[in-house]
Amino acid sequence: MWEGRFKSQALLDEAALAASMAYVDLNPIRAKIAKTPEESDHTSIQYRINATKAGKSPQFLIPFAGNNRENMPHGLPFHFTDYLELVDFTGRAILPDKRGAIEGSTPIILERLNLKMAQWQKLTTEFEECFHHAAGGESYLEAYRQRYKLKRLRDKNASIRLFG
């Protein structure tokens, strides 16, 4: 994921991927440019929603392939409907003045990613502040550190706190 000018972050696991996707897809809502994901111009979620409404598959985006425990040759490790529910729920939780009630149940995908709501809110509202080089669970971060022969990673404490 690109941030700022000429910087990147490695997304090392499914939780980091889902958090960064939701963070980007909710940017227009946080900026009060749009009220809902389907009204958020120039976002992947709007593109996916419009393609789905037209009975098509988005042409230039990686498809959702299903549960991360299922056999997935290529695709995002969750279902599109779960992602939509997660983004909608997160948008309502981040913006308490937005219409609609926040459901008391945790979205299915959060349970699969083993994240608590407080962790998810921090990830989806402060992703860029929490991570600078790599984002993901501690074991993924350690593998990344070893692969690139790094002495240490400054994102390790945030990773432990937010990804468990």
- Cβ neighbours of residue 93 closer than 8 Å, sequence gap 6 or more: 102, 117, 121
Calpha distance 55→145 (Å, rounded): 42
Query: Would you say residue 75 has pLDDT above 70?
Result: yes
CB distance 124 to 26 below 8 Å: yes
In a domain, 56, yes or no: yes
- Cβ neighbours of residue 14 closer than 8 Å, sequence gap 6 or more: 68, 77, 78, 112, 113
Task: DSSP letter for 12, please.
Answer: -
In a domain, 1, yes or no: no
Residue 104: both structure tokens together: 């008391």
In a domain, 2, yes or no: no
pLDDT in tens, 94-149: 655 544 333 344 455 567 667 777 887 788 778 888 887 888 888 888 888 899 99
If you search the block for the tokens 């240490």, which residue do you land on?
152
In a domain, 3, yes or no: no
Calpha distance 6→97 (Å, rounded): 35
Q: Pick the more confident residue, 93 or 82.
A: 82
Task: DSSP letter for 145, please.
Answer: H
Taking the whole predicted model, whether its pTM rises above 0.85 is answered as: no
Give the range of the structural domain holding residue 146, as residue numbers without chain letter.
9-163
In a domain, 71, yes or no: yes
pLDDT in tens, 18-62: 899 998 898 888 787 877 788 889 999 899 888 877 667 788 888
Calpha distance 34→27 (Å, rounded): 9
What is the structure's pLDDT at 62? Answer: 84
Q: How many domains does the chain have?
A: 1
Closest CA to 113 of 88, 76, 72, 74: 76
In a domain, 90, yes or no: yes
Q: Pick the more confident residue, 72 or 110.
A: 110
Calpha distance 62→105 (Å, rounded): 28
- Where are any strands of DSSP class E within the chain? 2-3, 7-8, 10-11, 134-135
Calpha distance 6→8 (Å, rounded): 7
